[in-house]
Amino acid sequence: MKTMSARATRASSSQKSMAVASAHPLASAAGLKVLKKGGNAVDAAVATSLALGVVAPAFSGIGGGGFFLVHLRGEETLYIDYREVAPRASRPDMFELDEEGEPIDFASSMGHRAVGVPGTVAGLTHALENYGRLKFSDVASYAIDYARKGFAVSRFLGYIISNNVDNASQKLRRFPETGRTWLRQGRTYRTGERKLSKDLADSLELIGREGRDAFYSGPLATAIAGEISKKGGEMDGSDLAQYSVEVRKPVTGSYRGLEIHTMPPPSMGGLAMLQLLNIFENMDLGSMRLNTAESIAAMAKGLAVVWPVLRREVADPESHAIDLERLSSKEYAARLWFSRGERGVSRGRDAGSQTTHLSVIDREGSVAAITESIECYFGSGVTAPGTGFCLNDTMHDFDPQPGAPNSIAPGKRPLSNMAPTLLLRDGEPYLVAGSAGGPRIVTATLQTILNVVDHSLDLQRAVDAPRIHYQGAGAIKMESRIGAAVRKGLMDMGFRSETPNYVQLKPGYDVYFGGVNAVMAGPRGAPRGAADPRRQGGVAVG
């Protein structure tokens, strides 16, 4: 049954146009078409998500999970948590560890035991049924069209396919069904070649006809559970049948007169964002200027303070008590800074995660945003025969050692950095942003916000600006566009810096530094959208 908000007629508003920003132009176009056909921001977000699962399947899809920010005009912000959960047969010590404490033979990040119970279909159908206007079959039609008729493989996707054939894991060759799905007669797809995904089109059409039950207790559940159990994985059909979403309230704060709504646990990304903004509110970052040695050092010290605290204190709220009021308060951030901030050094692990983010604003001023993932590129590498989509490797997001807040437990949601974030001005949506990239989700989204609010950049320039990443250990990672004089200044302050050498789809813009896709309510009802060139994102405005 639809909620009152979803049934309500369109509110009068100065907002006259709409925007969708995502990691692929075809996905953004699908979202805009839904808006033009009378759908709201939620409908458009679901359409965009499903399309991304077709045209950018290495990062997200219906075999994964995520977080969905919903803010219908005049209503409270909420988050739909459809993060994957550990199967009921999981144990804290289920993975054999090497001498460095990591699972042997990629066991938590590749293969059948790495798969958590997928949540995407449950989350997207819940959003449509409670906050949207359209049916799943309506919003899925664009993704189905891309899958059945084919789409041109992007340079980024082509690189990821090639890398997962030629790297040490050889993921796309190790799992024959996934290789059949994502290789062309045994070779990698070239940039621009058309890729059809007929099995995935069939799966999406089945969900459109039969609803979420097709995935959690019907034919798709049978295929998934059969594949996992046949190859020694922990997940079975009852895990799928018992999966449920959680609807959560945001953690909230303020920054320079703007109200912040961001993702609560089991993500620590939202709390990290709030703590950092609380620290930076007491600094004049604008006068320090963008990407100077002084402003980068200030950010690095703040990041060094926040990461270790949140790793100790945040996990699935159903299994771990979390004092959200304390952790999100300005007083707590001030105590952290004054007790530790000048040291700027801590221990941190720069773990990877391949995600996607999309942001939508509709003509009424309602907004929606989704950050979702299948964890590593192409997830676990496992594809159930005939389904057309990879299953996640979200067990990799747990701490593989027993006794930690984020250790594995049956039915538990793992810790995340995902943080779809909304800024409001005078109660109205102002900026919606989020990113891909594991721990870089926080730093990329944060820098975009600071670039808009403190450095007065327009939205696309705020997304484009050179980024840094730091977790308090080792060198500050910087994009190559940050010059030698800044690096020397940081060295004089006691910091080391380095430039990661990942892929650059545009010179000077490194995939390592995330993929921010954002929308912003503009003056006189003209929204703006910005997509990250680091991952060949696209914006559709109408």
Looking at the annotation, which residues are catalytic? 355
> Is-contact 27 539, C-beta < 8 A?
no
> Is-contact 381 177, C-beta < 8 A?
no
Question: How far apart are alpha carbons 243 and 392 in whole angstroms?
Answer: 15
Question: How far apart are alpha carbons 86 and 398 in whole angstroms?
Answer: 9
Other CB atoms within a 10 A radius of the CB of residue 474 amount to: 13
* Token pair in block for residue 145: 């069209």
For residue 338, give every residue at least 6 positions away whose Cβ sits within 8 Å of its Cβ, in sequence order, or none.
none
The amino acid at residue 57 is P
* Token pair in block for residue 213: 């039950």
* Token pair in block for residue 183: 């290789």
3-state helix, strand, coil in the chain (%, to 5): 40, 15, 45
Q: What is the DSSP string of 181-234?
A: HHSBTTBPPPTT-EE--HHHHHHHHHHHHHTTHHHHTSHHHHHHHHHHHHTT-S
Question: How far apart are alpha carbons 534 and 252 in whole angstroms?
Answer: 29
Question: How far apart are alpha carbons 105 and 381 in whole angstroms?
Answer: 14
Q: What is the DSSP string of 449-490?
A: HHHHHTT---HHHHHHS--EE--SSSPEEE-TTS-HHHHHHH
* Token pair in block for residue 178: 């996934």
